[in-house]
Chain A
């Protein structure tokens, strides 16, 4: 059994300890907002927060988060109110197919927690997630928008 906190709730999962957190979230706990993209931590679609820090979960064994606080896209809104990054994503009309966007939003919320007013260069360095729809321009403008909010 591996115990951790998911979006504020204690959870306990009975899986092999080397199972990647991604599949525990998706298949065991039914939290499908976190996506599978590459399986090698290259694309960032599976990004969540582990103790507030962005982590790519397709290669992260669940045993590594034992006792940690894990936050997924389902857990960043404050009750009924969207997180300011989510709102910025709507205001800037960022998503197209939308598949990479939960991972993008999780990467960006982690960035803003650490660096509340990132420059373009900071963004380039920190946000390395892949979006095949090419929404990067709008992502950049939404990050600046969220930073001002």
Chain B
């Protein structure tokens, strides 16, 4: 379990040691622009942050080394399956020249030194490749602001992209400190020494000194400059498939997820939320359930009601028995179909233009009747993490401690402090393993409820657990959105002018309002056009705008966010254009990628893997099957996928997926392959079956039987190829998801001639096709 102790507790006891460690802290403190700009508090204290034991020495805020040579790396990002507790240590271990078999992981404390300075810049309304002055300035301010706020969060496929430089520098600084300590001991110059798998080696004498024996002395060394980083051609750990550090605990039941936290004398709470969107709790009588077995207390909590009891089962029984009267709110009749009518009306409004190249309207007007108009839509989607939302909290006097499977420990600390009316220094957040995140665990709702319960039973820990039904009915959904395209082509069928208007709520705006009540959702939200604007294809005149249409439903970050629907729209439309031009969808895309060689290479690789045959109708698929292809860039990674489908017993079936990915320098190739598979399966479940629909204000799905997902029986064979690259690392947790939906629907079109413009695929009738 990751431990985040508060600094007021750590600092006094470390003060005595602080003086002789100051050299290393200065070295570490000089690492980051963001940190230097903050300046006022001085550099981070590695002892306070790393809590070294008696036989350990902290070399900086990221690494400590024990006498036996064990290297412990502090990872300030949450492990939710994406492999970050292995990838970030690999990066540090590379520059440290550690023996990776001796690397251990701890969760980092909450501290501004661990800031994620990639998330904010990623949200700015500039394209990912926009190199204009204003875009560059904006990103710089975004990084600075990240440091001021001290954003410590996991999401947006940022962990490796953001950690790449600091983890390398932290490893390199520690390595040079160890070399200097060895040089002092051997009476030679540090520059004459080398390092290798946890040892400093003196090539002249052949003497070797283990890091464990050097660490205490090294911790006192002061470096004047940041050492040079290793040339990627010299990498020994990065790029090698390393076994994940967290896996052994995940096969024997010892890995502690949020729901597994067990504390002395603890209580358990079950919650109930209003069944209709926009409704609130009006009245309930705690006495009604007070005499049920094990019930301790029934309390109002943010968003609903909780029953606190001596076991999860007792709490669950009581909350189900409790009669509640609700205020129905302002949207009791809310329905998905009504929402799409609202969206359709909003197409008449103009939205925020994120991209406006050339003169789209003039070209479209000149084209007269030769304008293709297309409308697409996607539904709300639940995250459905395997571990339902939960959090454990204990309030002891003015000390609040949380045990939370959260993607946002800093926000959790801040929100919890507000709920308990405490200073953030009085709030400790212990981040457990996350049983899936996918963006859902960036939300603070379950944190607030745990704090409310803890306040009701001071001194006792309470674990709030949502039932699956509460989790699915009160998710922060991927929004339903509507997309309209007006496109005209040149004589060869290439897009000449492309106008895309997207309608939907602001995910970033809504989420921010849940963190900060005074925030607004009316500003431009880049996630609404991610995957729709700044396409890699050559399109001379292009405009992409987003019309804000608010929804009463909570919407949030869902694996790949805007890319999840916009890649479906954009790539499907490219497929439609290829078909209209009578061209092969692979060849058509390649033609448009003449100026995007990196994208072209990824697409070509996927086609080659699949044995894509442009000359045949099924593109090389065996009889009864057909293939589709899609390409998408997200989170600094480019992914292309070819899928092979059939229709069997009236049901579309995905048999094979070939996936090519260029995510820059590969840290752990095995994790990249795993994340591609994971992103594909997650996107497949959504594309084939996924939808949360509303009628009379209520979601109509509540558990896995009616929110179908891929299982072993309909799992395709997936092959992934990682393209060698010298570019900086991209994200991998999300980029596998966006291309799969359009690749599937493109393949279904090739097979059946039926074009899916509305997800999921299961909404459509396939009974007339296939075997």
Contact = CB atoms under 8 A, between A and B. Distances in A.
Contacts of B437: 97
Given A36-B259, A36-B388, A130-B709, A98 B253 contact: no
B718 A137 contact: yes
A97 B435 contact: yes
A101 B386 CA distance: 10
B252 A74 contact: yes
B344 to A, nearest CB: 33
B313 A132 contact: no
Contacts of B312: 23, 26-27, 36
Interface string A106-149: 00000000000000000111011111111111111000000000
Interface string A11-30: 00001100110010011101
Interface residues of B, number: 60
B251 interface: yes
Given A99-B257, A134-B677, A138-B674, A16 B718 contact: no
Contacts of B594: none
Contacts of B140: none
Given A42-B704, A90-B243, A128-B712, A98 B252 contact: no
Contacts of A94: 247, 251
Contacts of B386: 35, 37, 43, 45, 97, 99-100, 130-133
A10 interface: no
B260 to A, nearest CB: 4
Interface residues of A, number: 58
B81 A133 contact: yes
Contacts of A36: 259, 312, 388, 465
B605 interface: no
Interface in B58-99: 80-83
Interface in B675-722: 677-682, 703-705, 709-713, 715, 717-718
Nearest to B465: A36
22 contacts: A32-B256, A33-B253, A35-B435, A36-B388, A37-B386, A37-B387, A38-B468, A38-B703, A39-B467, A86-B252, A90-B247, A90-B248, A96-B674, A97-B80, A97-B385, A97-B387, A97-B437, A98-B433, A130-B386, A130-B704, A132-B682, A136-B711
Interface in B291-323: 293, 311-313
Interface string B230-258: 00000000000001101111111111110
B764 interface: no
Contacts of B293: 16
Contact of A93 (B255, B465, B670, B704): B670
Contacts of B710: 134, 136
Contacts of A131: 386
Contact of A97 (B81, B680, B718): B81
B81 A105 contact: no
A107 to B, nearest CB: 10
A119 B680 CA distance: 24
Contacts of A26: 312
B534 interface: no
Interface string A33-76: 11111111011010000000000000000000000000011100
Contacts of A34: 253
Interface of B: 80-83, 243-244, 246-257, 259-260, 262, 268, 293, 311-313, 384-388, 433-438, 465, 467-469, 670, 674, 677-682, 703-705, 709-713, 715, 717-718
Instruction: State the 10 A-B residue pairs at the shortest beta-carbon distance, nearest first.
Output: A33-B253, A134-B681, A99-B435, A98-B250, A97-B81, A96-B81, A73-B253, A32-B260, A23-B313, A136-B715
Given A32-B260, A42-B703, A100-B386, A95 B247 contact: yes
A4 interface: no
Nearest to A27: B311
Given A36-B465, A132-B384, A101 B678 contact: no
A34 B253 CA distance: 7
A34 B251 CA distance: 11
A93 B243 contact: yes
B259 A77 contact: no
Contacts of A35: 257, 259, 386-387, 435
B247 A135 contact: no
Q: Majority SS of interface residues in chain B?
A: loop
Contacts of A16: 293
Given A32-B262, A98-B246, A105-B251, A19 B313 contact: yes
Contacts of B677: 134-135, 137-138
Contacts of A72: 253
A86 B740 CA distance: 31
Nearest to A106: B253
A129 B438 CA distance: 19
A32 B250 contact: no
Given A28-B311, A133-B386, 13 more contacts: A27-B311, A73-B252, A86-B252, A93-B247, A94-B251, A98-B255, A124-B712, A128-B711, A130-B711, A132-B385, A133-B81, A134-B715, A136-B712
A63 to B, nearest CB: 14
B433 to A, nearest CB: 7
A38 B312 CA distance: 14
Contacts of B436: 97, 99, 132-133
A116 B152 CA distance: 47
A140 B711 CA distance: 11
A17 B360 CA distance: 70
Contacts of A105: 251
Nearest to A143: B712
B678 A39 contact: no
A15 B293 CA distance: 10
Given A28-B311, A99-B257, A93 B244 contact: yes
B709 A33 contact: no
Contacts of B385: 97, 99, 132
Contacts of A42: 703-705
B713 A125 contact: yes
B90 to A, nearest CB: 14
B284 to A, nearest CB: 22
A125 B712 CA distance: 8
Given A128-B711, A137-B717, A138-B674, A97 B703 contact: no
B311 A129 contact: no
A82 B251 contact: yes
A94 B712 CA distance: 14
Interface centre among A26, A34, A95 (most CB of B within 10 A): A95
Given A105-B251, A130-B386, A137-B715, A96 B678 contact: yes
Nearest to B387: A99
